[in-house]
Structure 1
Amino acid sequence: MTDSTYIFLLSMCSAAILLLLVTRLHDCLALARARRQYETDDLSGPGRAPAISVIIPAGGQAEALETNIPAIMTQEYPFFEVIVVDEQTESDTADALKRLTAKFPQLRHTFVPPSVRFIGRQKLAITLGVKAAKHEWVVLTRPDCTPASPRWLMGLSAKMGEDKDIVVGYANYDAYAPTGAVVPRLRRALLAFAAALGGRAVDADACNLALRKSYFLTQGGYASQLSFTCGEDGLLVDRLSTGTNTAVACNPETTVWQSFSSRHESRKARVAHRVAGRHLRMRGKLLRLRWGTASLLTYTYAATWLAAVALRALHFPPIEAYRGQEIASDAWAVILLTYPIAEALALRRSTQAVDERPVSARLFFDDLWQPIATLGVKLNAWFSRNDYKRQ
């Protein structure tokens, strides 16, 4: 092979790989871009703050309710209510709600009828909560979630414009969770925010999601999703989001932290998310495919870089004997060496935007391990797919 042919083929391969990797870097900056956009909004005061109803579907989490409800009830926001919907999976929840109502008279609660069977109880709980809400904007969260700031609702309200129907916020596990559980959820948030900033929201986190009540009800809510019991957040946003009606709220004050219970529960959440992903519209599937392709290209990157290093170790000619192929190989190795550094810097900016723990170096190595680590999740999702369908 001549030098010119070799350099041409290497250039074409490099262009294809770098294009996808640059796209990946753009996604890694999603939270930082959302934070920069957020800082241009007016957070000056309650004069423009719409009334909000916070909806909390509670299923067997009495202790979490008593721990986290006070942080929500004491939000620095002028007009809001909190509605807890008891899914009646444990009697302790009702007892906890009685104690909380005595302490916070403005707390309201309702329940899912015990006769309900074979329907996603969380979807039904959210629907009942939305219908019971007195205000136009509803914010969804969970019993085991704590706002990072007493100005959480104020921060979300900054994005509740007249032309918006959905506001997506950031949520992840708290500081006690292992990094291995935080990184996959951060990866999901990066993709969700990147898609929303591009005007094509395809995912969200039910721990920190705001919806316009009238829009939710007129669009049928979960009516088209009753055949499966997962996807109460991502599938809903994928169906209801348009090119202009979705905003993102990205700021340390608008972050929500979820208590980490166990690796088993974290794995179940990932399985449910993967099962729900099969029902996304085409745009969501294509975006997830693009991210997955970029992750697989990390293997191509690593193999190419290691091959270039091995070539230099085995054959290191004097400078006057350099040929075009050797110069191109060395240049390719140097260029690719900058990618993990650039990715780490981009990810650091995004994690700082939401006050997340530093995991900059972890994502690149997680990409290398990702296909193996998620194999069990994929198999579990495949074999348990019928468990998420209405019988």
Structure 2
Amino acid sequence: MVLLYVFAAVVFINCCYFILFSRFSFATTPEVISSETPPVSLIICAKNEAENLQKYIPEWQAQEYPDFEIILINDASADNTLEVIESFAEKDSRIKVVNVKNIEAFWANKKYALTLGLKRAVNTRLVFSDADCSPASKQWLKEMASRFSEEKQLVLGYGAYQKRKGILNRLIRFETLMTAVQYFSYANAGIPYMGVGRNLAYTSDLYYGNNGFMSHIKLSSGDDDLFVNEVATKNNTALSTNPSSFTYSIPKKTWKAWKLQKRRHATTASHYKLKHKLLLALYYTSNLLFWVLGIVCFFLIDWKIPLALVTLRFLVQFIVIGKAASKLNEKDLLYFLPLWELFLVWMQMSIFISNKVSKPAQWK
């Protein structure tokens, strides 16, 4: 009987989190905060991205925004990234080139490269993306910039992944969806805790007022989520969730590459504020316990009550996550949703164990 009570408590905690996530799922898309179009600096850091830059620089150039510059940072690339950037810069005066060479103190450190790029920017409002990211529309830059105001100095956007065939692609997109649901929901609840560098914006005042990335400059990751975790408040943070403001990145093609990427990202979570670590840990722990205890209950207890609890939990999940998936153009992930969640729980456990043994050292 104790086992059943514990399982019921886990289901209750799960449902409480889904109710929290409904703060995003059922929220109306926020109105444009500002109709003004002050100058913006778009900052892209690239390491060995020559092929992607050839493809995506024209899309950034084609943004329908009246006044913006593009800061392209070559982070000590071994391929012809610098040559590609310089060839575009010769034809477009809006493009500024920052060529970063490795130094011993900051070897392969993206934050060091970004810091040099930020110093080159002449505008106060900064928008960030990655070299393998395609804007969803020509209105992307305008949509992100429109969320700025005198009070709102930080804008969280959605960095999606391109749809491809295969289980790995769906799992990558499901993990990305669930991460976005969480950081959008927490922000709407007044406790923002992270954002993604694939689609992020903030002001130079916020950056320099926080001394940049200095508190975590030695960590290989965290130029996005750790910075947001430090500076975001319920008053200075805005969301950009219009589909035209999304970006789409190229997903990893192998399980090994994706796991390495997630291992690198996971190293930053231990540096979050305590309240965020506790909330995230409880969510992931309750998810794990739901699957473990659910299976045990079916074998050791009369199956009718566990089935009712499982049905309730999945019903709430489908309603809340289904609505969020619709908003973020990920509705195809609703098919076999429990399966993707089970895969993700297993992968998160694997990453946790791997990172306890060793930690990845650099961003690329």
Same fold (TM over 0.5): yes
Q: How far does the alpha carbon of each residue in 1:68-119 deviate from its partner, in whole angstroms, 9 at most, with x for none? A: 1111111111221111011122240111112222343321111213435444
Q: How does 1:176-255 map to 2 (within 5 A)?
A: 176=164, 178-255=169-246
**Partners in 1 of 2:287 and 2:340 — Cα distance?**
9
- Whether the 8 Å contact between 1:56 and 1:143 is mirrored in structure 2 is yes
Distance 1:362 1:112, change over 3 A: farther
Question: Which secondary structure state, in structure 1, belongs to the residue aligned with residue 202 of structure 2?
Answer: strand
2:352 maps to 378
Q: Which of 17, 20, 32 pairs up with 2:10? A: 17
Number of residue pairs aligned between Structure 1 and Structure 2: 359
The list of structure 1 runs, each at least 4 consecutive aligned residues, that deviate by more than 6 angstroms after superposition, is none
Q: How far does the alpha carbon of each residue in 1:346-378 deviate from its partner, in whole angstroms, 9 at most, with x for none? A: 222112212235212444223334443333322
| Structure 1 letter corresponding to 2:53 | L
- Whether the 8 Å contact between 2:264 and 2:360 is mirrored in structure 1 is no
1:3 maps to none
- Whether the 8 Å contact between 1:305 and 1:337 is mirrored in structure 2 is no
1:274 matched to 2:262? The reply is: no
Greater C-alpha radius of gyration: 1
| Structure 1 letter corresponding to 2:282 | R
Distance 1:185 1:219, change over 3 A: same
Question: Which secondary structure state, in structure 1, belongs to the residue aligned with residue 130 of structure 2?
Answer: coil
2:282 maps to 290
- Whether the 8 Å contact between 1:301 and 1:336 is mirrored in structure 2 is no
Deviates more, 1:55-64 or 1:276-285: 276-285
What is the TM-score with the length of structure 2 in the denominator?
0.89
1:32 matched to 2:37? The reply is: no
**Partners in 2 of 1:31 and 1:145 — Cα distance?**
24
Q: How far does the alpha carbon of each residue in 1:22-60 deviate from its partner, in whole angstroms, 9 at most, with x for none? A: 2232354354345x142x3357xxx41232111000111
- Whether the 8 Å contact between 1:54 and 1:81 is mirrored in structure 2 is yes
What is the TM-score with the length of structure 1 in the denominator?
0.83
Structure 1: state its 5+ residue gaps: 1-5, 313-329
1:70 maps to 58
- Whether the 8 Å contact between 1:172 and 1:185 is mirrored in structure 2 is yes
| Structure 1 letter corresponding to 2:36 | R
Distance 1:81 1:362, change over 3 A: farther
- Whether the 8 Å contact between 1:60 and 1:93 is mirrored in structure 2 is yes
Q: Which of 170, 181, 190 pairs up with 2:158? A: 170
Q: Which of 310, 313, 330 pairs up with 1:339? A: 313
| Structure 1 letter corresponding to 2:317 | E
1:88 matched to 2:79? The reply is: no
1:257 maps to 248
> What CA RMSD, in Å, does the superposition of the two structures yield over aligned residues?
2.6
**Partners in 1 of 2:3 and 2:353 — Cα distance?**
36
